[in-house]
Structure 1
Amino acid sequence: MEFLVQKIGMSRTIDANSTPVTLLKVLQAKVCQLENGKALVAYAMHKKHNKAIEGQQKKYQLSKEFNHFATLKASQQKELGDLDLSALETLKRVKASFKTKGRGFAGVMKRWNFQGGP
């Protein structure tokens, strides 16, 4: 099962050996469509939306806050509505993969591949 998460930050466990941990927040999401083990999921992000997204919101009867869509593997999800988070209740470790690697603050030469002059 896949979930949409947002990285909050880093911390560590408080025991004999300090283990670094990543703090994740599971985003609120609604399943709009189920098909062949995949789910079309709408989730909320703090960005403006356009008329194409408004059409999808009307089609799936979503509120204005759900303005982004993603396709996820959904092996345990059986019905439309809120994403089923029961699979996360018993887990202690989660394998996570992210789209981008954080690079911190980068200058224009590194960020946009500008060259240094003539």
Structure 2
Amino acid sequence: MKLELIGKKLGMTQVYDGDNNLVPVTIIEAGPCPVLQVKTPDKDGYSAIQIGFNPQGKSPNKSNKCTKGHAAKAGVEAQQVAQEIRFSDDHEFERGSVLTVDHFKEVKMVDVVSKTKGKGFQGVVKRWNFKGGPASHGSMFHRRGGSYGLCQWPGRVFKNKKMPGHMGNASRTTQNLAVVKVLSEK
């Protein structure tokens, strides 16, 4: 059974491993994540749990009435973030129970899913690493993309042509990251 927790990146540091090598590590505040709702195949058509997360320093009072009412049914304070995790039918979670990092004490590797930094609308030089044009000698073509395609045939721009556009704020998954240490008391 896979287990997921919601967390927040606090920063990075470095630690020594067993062979005296300096290893970069990411510090993540993961959990506690209360179970806000349990979904069953009889009622919802599939089996899942909905967990919440309140990062440190975030006030639950900033939540709207709908979120506060949903959390009150589980007997917990309002959560800033809520996420659903699908399970097989044999999970043992109950509404109001809390998932903590203690579940990861024996885990050696994890997959991390997060959002990249949003950079807004960017040109082709930053977004796709285009070389650009000449910088001097009267050139007026510095950071542009050049030609977008052919002429009368095919009479269109091909799919997946690298163009300026929105960069970042996309979901990325990093697989098989080693868990260096789990501190449950912090």
Counterpart in 1 of 2:65?
51
Cα distance in structure 2, aligned partners of 1:29 and 1:71: 12
Counterpart in 2 of 1:30?
34
Percent identity, please.
20
Counterpart in 1 of 2:12?
10
Most deviating of 21-30 and 42-51: 42-51
Aligned partners of 1:32 and 1:39 also within 8 Å: yes
Aligned partners of 1:41 and 1:69 also within 8 Å: yes
User: For 2:116, which of 74, 89, 101 is the aligned residue?
Assistant: 101
TM alignment of 1:18-97, pairs within 5 A: 18-35=22-39, 36-45=46-55, 46=58, 48-64=62-78, 66-74=79-87, 77-80=91-94, 81-83=97-99, 85-97=101-113
Measured after TM superposition, the shift of residue 101 of structure 1 is 1.2
Structure 2 gap segments, 5+ residues each: 40-45, 123-186
Point out the structure with max Rg over C-alpha. Answer: 2
- What SS is found at the alignment partner of 1:63? coil
The number of residues matched between the two structures is: 106
Once the two structures are superposed, what CA deviation does each residue of 1:64-89 show, in whole Å capped at 9, x if it has no partner? 4x343211245685132111544301
**What is the identity, as a one-letter code, of the residue corresponding to 1:42?**
G
Measured after TM superposition, the shift of residue 18 of structure 1 is 1.9
Cα distance in structure 2, aligned partners of 1:70 and 1:85: 17
Measured after TM superposition, the shift of residue 7 of structure 1 is 0.9
The 1:33/1:54 distance shift into structure 2, 3 A limit, reads closer
Counterpart in 1 of 2:157?
none
TM value normalised by structure 1 = 0.68
Measured after TM superposition, the shift of residue 6 of structure 1 is 1.1
**What is the identity, as a one-letter code, of the residue corresponding to 1:71?**
E
Cα distance in structure 2, aligned partners of 1:14 and 1:56: 44
Aligned partners of 1:2 and 1:73 also within 8 Å: no
Higher relative contact order (CA 8 A, sep 6+): 1
Measured after TM superposition, the shift of residue 5 of structure 1 is 1.4
